[in-house]
Chain A
Amino acid sequence: MKRDGLFGIAIALLAVAFVLVPSWILAAPLPLNPNGLPMAYAQKIFYFHVAVAWCAFLSVFVCAGGSVFQLAKRSPRGDAVAIAAAELVVVFGLCTLVTGPLWARKEWGVWWVWKDVRLVTMLILWITFLAYLFVRRYGGPGSEQLASGLALFGAVNVPIVYLSVFFWRTQHPQGKVVGSLDPAMRAPFWLSLAAFSILYGVLFFLRLHLERQRQRLAEAQLAAQDAGLVRW
């Protein structure tokens, strides 16, 4: 019941954020580009783009954590955490990969830059977790272990990919962007980050709950079979 209460609060917060955040974002000033002119209106996508990218990266490490438990202890709960997080990496990763080019096209004049650290890191990560879902779907028996191994390797790959692409020189704004934000942009930025984090949490726990129920159903079915209650 405590969980239901928390869930209700999270949903209420999300509802408030749904009204507040867009109006704050629209009211925030447009920052100046390196030429001293205000950036295109598409800059508003920044509030969305950074927040979903943060959720995607967070989810990678949640998935790796669940996978460690799955591999070391064969824990079904760890497995459920891993699969819920992996699906969310794919969803939030896709949002990042769609919003990024939309903005880049306006600001840099190109859709995609191969030399950029974050773009390539995100793409490789996204493909790795697509492969994860693929393995879960078509791997058959034993695919949990395989998928866990894949998630762990994928998470370890993140810093290495990041480092590799870093040496191609980057076009993407560096990490210090957040610190140098116009004070009027800061509040909507953090608010949007918080709102997306809550959204991530809500989706994650819903999916986790669903997966746990699916596992319990499968166990119950096996137990019923063993007891000779059902034949399928």
Chain B
Amino acid sequence: MKFVRSVLAITAKELRIELRTREVVVAMAFFAALVLLLFAFALVHEGRTAPDAAAGILWIVIALAGTLGLSRAFDREREGNPLAALLLAPIDRPAIYVGKLLAMLIFLALTELVTVPLVALLFDAPLLAHPIQLIALLALGSIGFAATGSLFAGALVRNRARHLLLGILLYPLVLPVLMAGVRGTQALLVLPEPDLLVLGTWTRILVLFDVAMVTLSLWVFEPLVVAE
């Protein structure tokens, strides 16, 4: 119970800061829209894109905007060093991680709320035809991305080269989640009916990835983030 309360307190703190500054979500959504426009300029010819391209574009944009959000959300932990204070608090260390992760998931969900309709519109993709399956894919993919991302962004807080290293560390590690997300979304976009068998396979791989990454993160959060 205490664990859950600590987690919720940290998530609430993150959301309160975000409500007052509005910098992370607005920056993420705006950046995502800009990258989408770049893709549209590069890939749309006479109103058509390569079939399947929309799925890949959606997930690349989520990964790029997510990295931007992670950088900013964890940069806050440098100003006045609140992370050190959090680590001194009499709560379980993993609660700090889970609280941050939940806040990051909410930021990602808000960004996806802007990104998905834009992808559907710009690339003429029937993304919104099966909302439940799409939401499941996005949720599972975001959990995998944010779980790995929050851990390494947290570990990089005190590092001088953090903006450089975050992308380099994160992208190789989240490749499986992006791959599964892209393949699952492509299965969803098959016309006239989505390929449910393929979708199921990729959903299961996403679940497997999420379980592995969250478990591992909970275990290594303390040695990675706590300095000696």
Is A135 among interface residues, defined by CB-CB distance under 8 A? yes
Residue of B nearest to A72 (CB): B223
Q: How many Å lie between the Cα of A61 and that of B152 in the bound state?
A: 21
Kindly identify, within residues 197 to 227 of chain B, every residue whose CB is under 8 Å from any CB belonging to chain A: 198, 201-202, 205, 208-209, 212-213, 216, 220, 223-224, 227
12 contacts between A and B (CB under 8 A): A74-B223, A131-B169, A135-B165, A138-B165, A145-B223, A146-B156, A146-B169, A154-B172, A161-B179, A164-B183, A167-B205, A168-B183
Residues of A within 8 A of B209 (CB): 160
Residues of A within 8 A of B160 (CB): 140
Instruction: Tell me what chain B mostly uses at the interface: helix, strand, loop, or mixed.
Output: helix
CB of B173 within 8 A of CB of A157, answer: yes
Is A149 among interface residues, defined by CB-CB distance under 8 A? yes
Flag A123-138 by CB within 8 Å of B: 1 or 0 each: 0100110010011001
Give the interface size bracket for A toward B.
20 to 34
Kindly identify, within residues 132 to 173 of chain B, every residue whose CB is under 8 Å from any CB belonging to chain A: 148, 151-152, 155-156, 158-161, 164-165, 168-169, 172-173
Please name the 8 residue pairs, one residue from A and one from B, whose CB atoms are nearest each other, closest first. Answer: A128-B172, A71-B223, A127-B172, A160-B176, A153-B173, A149-B224, A131-B168, A161-B176
CB distance from B174 to the nearest CB of A (A): 9
CB of B172 within 8 A of CB of A131, answer: yes
Residue of A nearest to B205 (CB): A164
Residue of B nearest to A73 (CB): B223
Residues of B within 8 A of A154 (CB): 172-173
Is A152 among interface residues, defined by CB-CB distance under 8 A? yes
CB distance from B14 to the nearest CB of A (A): 22
CB of B152 within 8 A of CB of A149, answer: yes
Residues of A within 8 A of B198 (CB): 167
Residues of A within 8 A of B176 (CB): 124, 157, 160-161, 164
What's the count of A-B pairs with C-beta under 8 Å? Answer: 87
CB distance from B81 to the nearest CB of A (A): 15
CB of A153 within 8 A of CB of B165, answer: no
CB of A146 within 8 A of CB of B159, answer: yes
Which residue of B152, B183, B208 is within 8 Å of A146 (Cβ)?
B152
CB distance from A78 to the nearest CB of B (A): 12
Is B193 among interface residues, defined by CB-CB distance under 8 A? no
Residue of A nearest to B158 (CB): A142
CB distance from B56 to the nearest CB of A (A): 13
CB distance from B67 to the nearest CB of A (A): 14
Other CB < 8 Å A-B pairs besides A138-B165, A145-B155, A152-B220, 13 of them?
A128-B172, A131-B169, A131-B172, A134-B165, A135-B168, A142-B159, A145-B224, A146-B169, A149-B151, A154-B172, A156-B212, A167-B183, A167-B201
Residues of A within 8 A of B156 (CB): 146
Is B96 among interface residues, defined by CB-CB distance under 8 A? no
Which residue of A128, A146, A156 is within 8 Å of B155 (Cβ)?
A146
Flag A65-91 by CB within 8 Å of B: 1 or 0 each: 000000110100000000000000000
Is A183 among interface residues, defined by CB-CB distance under 8 A? no
CB distance from A151 to the nearest CB of B (A): 11
Q: How many Å lie between the Cα of A203 and that of B180 in the bound state?
A: 37
Is A150 among interface residues, defined by CB-CB distance under 8 A? yes
Is B79 among interface residues, defined by CB-CB distance under 8 A? no
CB distance from B41 to the nearest CB of A (A): 25
Is B175 among interface residues, defined by CB-CB distance under 8 A? yes
CB distance from A119 to the nearest CB of B (A): 14
Residue of A nearest to B175 (CB): A124
Is B228 among interface residues, defined by CB-CB distance under 8 A? yes
Residues of B within 8 A of A138 (CB): 161, 164-165
